[in-house]
Chain A
Amino acid sequence: MSTTAAAASPVTYLNEKTTVASWLLTKDHKRIGLMYMLTVTLAFVVGAVFAGLIRLELATPAGDLLSSDTYNRVFTAHGVAMVFFVLIPVVPAVLGNFVLPLMLGAKDVAFPKLNLLSWYVFILGMTVTFSAIVMGGVDTGWTFYPPFSTEGSDSNVMLAGVGIFITGFSSILTGLNFMVTIHRMRAPGLTWFRLPLFVWALYATSLIQVLGTPVVAITVLMVALERFAHLGFFDPRLGGDPVLFQHLFWFYSHPAVYIMILPPMGAISEVIACFSRKNIFGYSFVAFSSMAIAVFGFLVWAHHIFVAGISPYSAMVFSFLTYAVAVPSAVKTFNWTATLYRGAIWMRAPMIWVFGFLGLFLVGGLTGLFTASLGIDIHIHDTYFVVAHFHYIMVGGAIMGYFAGLHFWWPKMTGRMYNDTAAKTSAVLVFVGFNLTFFPQFILGYLGMPRRYHMYPPEFQVLNVMSTGGAAILAVGYLLPMIYLTYSFFKGEQAGSNPWMATGLEWTTQSPPLPHNFADQPVVTEGAYEYSKREMKVA
């Protein structure tokens, strides 16, 4: 096993064919995963540049760098790029595409052509949306609230809306594909309760993608119909209700947060079990908590609109349910911590990203409870407190989790190792930079600084400068992986098939895997995390 790859370079999915056409027409889930990785990274860079502009503007109290109108367009571009083109696809479409069939012992996903189509739909949606940004931008914020989006704004609302509508179908196709794959493509012996927790997380995510995304697509379409045909869904003068848009929008967009966070949570479970050399504590609870989050995540959306004029009764119901949905997230966090307890913790780079995730997700999750309580929400609604809260979840949680998973599976994806010290440094920089950027924003929000303004009273400057400084550190933390991972891809030392001595079918094939994953059909005879049965042989 340890000497796997014979010296004469073996056939892998990377070197089997190398023409451009062989990539653009590939049906290989692994190649599609890598193509998604490049695309998402591009969107991340775009979103990060806009984030940089925001932080530069906010370094001084005066609105001196960008005009008010430009600032509106900049934060909208940041939100749209990051939410729809980075956070939603980053783990399912990149890591999920790559490892799901490998974890199931399958040759590919259930519908390989559909998988490729989803990437092309994604590219089309991204092109349309980004062209709206290039051609002058959108000034509504990523939430597109009417009446501003339907009659106030004269920016490219419709073009961006159409782009997001198209992109939604890419998400639906991926979700559908994964659901069918998990139902139909499992290796012999791979029962539901032997599935890796990453697979459970992807299944729960797919459910949300398939059931939630059509609603936001229709909602965007309703904005279009109201803008052009004055159909009066949201305009009170035509018999509509602007709050209806917010209900429909958040019916998808709250669960969308779970599309962003559930797959990273799944990756965290894999990494924590491997680097603690232990079975995950309470496997079935962690598995079911993913499903619980997927279902109950659909029952909490109105916590975004407590102050928008919904009825007090409705607000109480949604507040209560929001508290309830914190329970499965807490179950996961406690179970991860319990997994660490008396484990043989192995401090390699993926594990450092996991520790970062745990800390940031904890803060993000608990501050969610602040915003879920009706009284406090009135004070902090639309302030920087909320901005800090959701960045802790979506960047601190989802992106940290993505990096944990990426560093874990990188040797499998490329067959090469990266510099462990560089990777740890990057994780520490991101953790420090992130906290410096966003913790001051909790205080700013509590003190009353509203979001989406480019000017603020001078007494808020110290905290804002801290935040901008933190963003600079964060940028370095994110640039580093691009450098050492690129280096690793071409020059890194050979990883062998299983450098972490991990359980899981994906580690039983060579790295990088064969074009069709496995030489022989794998058969599963035990649970996903039987680390106690493995000997730790550090090569």
Chain B
Amino acid sequence: MAGHISPKSTYYAIFGALMVLTAVTVGVAFINLGALNFPVAMAVAVTKATLVILFFMHVKYSSKLTKFIVLMAFFFLFILFGMTLTDYLSRGWYASPRGSVGAGTQVEAEHPVRQQPAATAEQAH
């Protein structure tokens, strides 16, 4: 259906790149990069996804409208992550009133709410 036909060599090259990147993902998993663990893994994954979208899914050769729709999907992904992070990143910004244990306060041991589910779960088993 689509107008553009890529040479087979392109597909093999992309496939090769994806395989190499998969090896990188696996390799990196054995090395502890500390805080960089997550960013590196994500960077490799995003590169792979980009290759698939651009070449295997032919977006590189598609109309502006198709490209726009693809970008739209990423925009909504950004909303999903970004707006969820408004919660996670801001937990603990405000102390809860009257010493209650509420949103985002980091009380580990004496946390009454956190301990309860563990206890009930044990009863259930």
| Residues from chain B with Cβ under 8 Å of A247 in the complex | 84, 87
| Residues from chain A with Cβ under 8 Å of B124 in the complex | 152
Q: Please state if A311 and B94 are interface contacts (CB–CB under 8 Å).
A: yes
Bound CA–CA A317/B79 (angstroms) = 13
- Which residues of A, 244-280, contact B by the 8 Å Cβ criterion? 244, 247-248, 251
Chain B contact residue count (CB 8 A cutoff): 24
Q: Please state if B90 and A299 are interface contacts (CB–CB under 8 Å).
A: no
Which residue in B94, B114, B118 is a CB contact (below 8 Å) of A313?
A: B94
Q: Please state if B73 and A147 are interface contacts (CB–CB under 8 Å).
A: no
Which residue in B65, B80, B86 is a CB contact (below 8 Å) of A314?
A: B86
| Residues from chain B with Cβ under 8 Å of A248 in the complex | 80, 84
Q: Please state if A314 and B90 are interface contacts (CB–CB under 8 Å).
A: yes
Judged by a CB distance under 8 angstroms, whether A151 is at the interface is yes
Q: How far is the CB of B118 from chain A (nearest CB, A)?
A: 6
Q: A309-B102, A312-B93, A312-B103 are in contact. Are A298 and B79 (CB under 8 A)?
A: yes
Would you give the 0/1 interface string for B50-71, flagging 1 where the beta carbon is closer than 8 Å to chain A? 0000000000000001000000
Q: Please state if B94 and A299 are interface contacts (CB–CB under 8 Å).
A: no
Bound CA–CA A309/B76 (angstroms) = 24
- Which residues of B, 82-106, contact A by the 8 Å Cβ criterion? 83-84, 86-88, 90-94, 102-104
Q: Please state if A311 and B87 are interface contacts (CB–CB under 8 Å).
A: yes
Q: How far is the CB of A341 from chain B (nearest CB, A)?
A: 37
> What residue in chain B is nearest A305 (Cβ atoms)?
B87
The secondary-structure label for the interface of chain A is helix
Bound CA–CA A82/B94 (angstroms) = 40
Q: Please state if A311 and B90 are interface contacts (CB–CB under 8 Å).
A: yes
Would you give the 0/1 interface string for A298-310, flagging 1 where the beta carbon is closer than 8 Å to chain B? 1101100000011
Q: How far is the CB of A259 from chain B (nearest CB, A)?
A: 14
Judged by a CB distance under 8 angstroms, whether B34 is at the interface is no
Q: Please state if A237 and B103 are interface contacts (CB–CB under 8 Å).
A: no
Bound CA–CA A248/B79 (angstroms) = 12
Which residue in A183, A207, A310, A317 is a CB contact (below 8 Å) of B65?
A: A183
Judged by a CB distance under 8 angstroms, whether A215 is at the interface is yes
Q: Please state if A309 and B72 are interface contacts (CB–CB under 8 Å).
A: no
| Residues from chain B with Cβ under 8 Å of A236 in the complex | 114, 117
Judged by a CB distance under 8 angstroms, whether B109 is at the interface is no
- Which residues of A, 233-249, contact B by the 8 Å Cβ criterion? 236-237, 243-244, 247-248
The secondary-structure label for the interface of chain B is helix
Judged by a CB distance under 8 angstroms, whether B121 is at the interface is yes
Q: A236-B114, A247-B84 are in contact. Are A311 and B73 (CB under 8 A)?
A: no
Q: Please state if B86 and A151 are interface contacts (CB–CB under 8 Å).
A: no
Q: Please state if B80 and A310 are interface contacts (CB–CB under 8 Å).
A: no
Bound CA–CA A310/B83 (angstroms) = 12
| Residues from chain B with Cβ under 8 Å of A152 in the complex | 124
Tally of A-B residue pairs with Cβ under 8 A? 60
Q: How far is the CB of B14 from chain A (nearest CB, A)?
A: 24
Q: Please state if A151 and B121 are interface contacts (CB–CB under 8 Å).
A: yes
Q: Please state if A243 and B121 are interface contacts (CB–CB under 8 Å).
A: no
Q: A183-B65, A236-B114, A314-B86 are in contact. Are A251 and B80 (CB under 8 A)?
A: yes
Q: Please state if A311 and B104 are interface contacts (CB–CB under 8 Å).
A: yes
- Which residues of A, 345-391, contact B by the 8 Å Cβ criterion? none
Which residue in A215, A298, A301, A311 is a CB contact (below 8 Å) of B91?
A: A311
Most A CB contacts (10 A, CB to CB) among B86, B118, B121 go to B86
| Residues from chain B with Cβ under 8 Å of A215 in the complex | 80
Bound CA–CA A302/B88 (angstroms) = 12
Bound CA–CA A247/B90 (angstroms) = 15
Q: How far is the CB of A151 from chain B (nearest CB, A)?
A: 7
> What residue in chain B is nearest A183 (Cβ atoms)?
B65
Bound CA–CA A299/B83 (angstroms) = 7
Bound CA–CA A312/B80 (angstroms) = 19
Q: How far is the CB of B42 from chain A (nearest CB, A)?
A: 17
Bound CA–CA A302/B79 (angstroms) = 12
Q: A183-B65, A211-B72, A317-B86 are in contact. Are A311 and B79 (CB under 8 A)?
A: no
> What residue in chain B is nearest A313 (Cβ atoms)?
B90
| Residues from chain A with Cβ under 8 Å of B80 in the complex | 215, 248, 251
| Residues from chain A with Cβ under 8 Å of B84 in the complex | 244, 247-248, 251
Bound CA–CA A244/B76 (angstroms) = 17
| Residues from chain B with Cβ under 8 Å of A244 in the complex | 84
Q: A183-B65, A312-B93 are in contact. Are A298 and B87 (CB under 8 A)?
A: no
Q: Please state if A211 and B114 are interface contacts (CB–CB under 8 Å).
A: no
Bound CA–CA A215/B114 (angstroms) = 28
> What residue in chain B is nearest A208 (Cβ atoms)?
B76
| Residues from chain A with Cβ under 8 Å of B88 in the complex | 311
A interface with B by C-beta (< 8 Å): 147, 151-152, 183, 207, 211-212, 215, 236-237, 243-244, 247-248, 251, 298-299, 301-302, 309-314, 317-318
**Top 8 closest A-B pairs, CB basis?**
A314-B87, A313-B90, A311-B90, A314-B86, A310-B87, A311-B91, A211-B76, A247-B84
B interface with A by C-beta (< 8 Å): 65, 72-73, 76, 79-80, 83-84, 86-88, 90-94, 102-104, 114, 117-118, 121, 124
- Chosen A-B contacts, 5 in total, with CB atoms closer than 8 Å, are A212-B76, A236-B117, A243-B87, A251-B80, A311-B103
Apart from A298-B79, A313-B93, 20 more pairs, CB < 8 Å: A147-B117, A152-B124, A183-B65, A207-B72, A212-B76, A236-B114, A251-B84, A298-B76, A299-B83, A309-B102, A309-B104, A310-B87, A310-B91, A311-B90, A311-B91, A311-B93, A312-B93, A312-B103, A313-B94, A318-B86
